[in-house]
Amino acid sequence: MPSILKCPVCDLPLIRQGASYQCENGHSFDVAKEGYVNLLLSNQKKSKSPGDNADMMRHRRQFLQQGYYEPLAQNVASELDGVLCSGASELAHLLDNGCGEGYYTDLIRQHLSCSVACYGVDISKDAIRYAAKRYADTNFVVGSVANLPVLDHSVACLVNIFAPDNVTEFRRVLKAGGYLLVVTPTTNHLRQLREMIYDTVRPFGGGLSPDFNTYFSRIKQQDLSYQVHIDTKQDIEHLFKMTPFYWSTPTEKQNQILAIDQIDMDISFSIELFQKEG
């Protein structure tokens, strides 16, 4: 199966040759023993180890494996199944930007009713190493959303779940008529946790760039909201420490939250499906 990866040095297509990817100009990138390839050049890094740190990654992995966010993965897969698998005549390529440890990537792949070539990209080498080791059916790549190591107009669907976006790069890699699915937290997401941290609850920052509506047509928007009962200290710790909130919370409040035995927590996402203009 042809790869959709491009050389980060010269932008030519990369071809898998045994245990490495190579381009016609002779640039070569070894495939790690876990099965991933690192296409993040040293001059594309802003730190020695960019991306989520190992502690955040470990806590997120432990929390997600308990199934608290599985309704989100199932909902996303259902939306993508409708646009990718309805009358599909050729193998489509799906790219999960900011895939982390591959949790959503793999659940989406499992729930699709058609065969899709899945790629996951993340700037965290530790996250990609874990993803590749655990989920062998997906192609995992260390790379940056600032310069995705993916060929122009090669992706049928791009998924962006809680990850930094880049409208320019998304437009470049998506095929004409390709789909972009974006998940962001709503105001109520993790409300109870945020109320314990802040005297005045702050809204989540960021949001979609206005350019999304300029270059993509919004097909559908929906909110997915539900409440989970977290009944172990361990899972509460995993949730708290997988978020950026933990690192900015005073020690006294950290200890108060980590002492909680159980809690009902609001989970709330905005799911938006866009299509690139043909």
Q: Could you report the per-residue pLDDT of 42-82, keeping only the tens digit for each?
A: 876 555 556 677 888 899 999 999 999 999 999 999 999 99
For range 208-233, the mean pLDDT: 92
For range 238-261, the mean pLDDT: 94
Would you say residue 164 lies in a domain? yes
Between the CA of residue 139 and those of 2, 156, 255, what are the distances in Å?
A: 12, 15, 40
Q: Can you give the pLDDT at residue 50?
A: 62
Is this prediction's pTM over 0.85?
yes
Cα torsion 87, 88, 90, 91 to 10°: value is: -160
**Lookup result for tokens 């929906």:** 222
Q: Can you give the pLDDT at residue 89?
A: 63
- Domain housing 157: 52-276
Would you say residue 90 lies in a domain? yes
Q: Can you give the pLDDT at residue 40?
A: 96
**Number of independent structural domains in the chain:** 1
Would you say residue 215 lies in a domain? yes
**260 backbone φψ class: left, alpha, beta (φ>0; ψ -120 to 50):** beta
Which domain CATH number covers 147? 3.40.50.150
Would you say residue 61 lies in a domain? yes
Structural tokens at position 262: 């159980």
Would you say residue 34 lies in a domain? no
Residue 202 has pLDDT above 80, yes or no: no
**Lookup result for tokens 């790219």:** 95
Q: Can you give the pLDDT at residue 88?
A: 64
The H or E element containing residue 95 is strand 92-97
Would you say residue 16 lies in a domain? no
**Sorting pLDDT into bands at 50, 70 and 90, what band is 2?**
confident
Q: Which position has the higher pLDDT, 199 or 170? A: 170
**Lookup result for tokens 């802040």:** 198
Would you say residue 20 lies in a domain? no
Residue 247 has pLDDT above 90, yes or no: no
Q: Can you give the pLDDT at residue 13?
A: 98
Would you say residue 148 lies in a domain? yes
CA distance 142 to 119: 11
Structural tokens at position 174: 């998506």
Out of 99-103, 131-135, 137-141, 211-215, least confident range: 211-215
Q: Can you give the pLDDT at residue 265?
A: 98
171 phi/psi in degrees, rounded to 5: -65, -40
**Sorting pLDDT into bands at 50, 70 and 90, what band is 242?**
very high
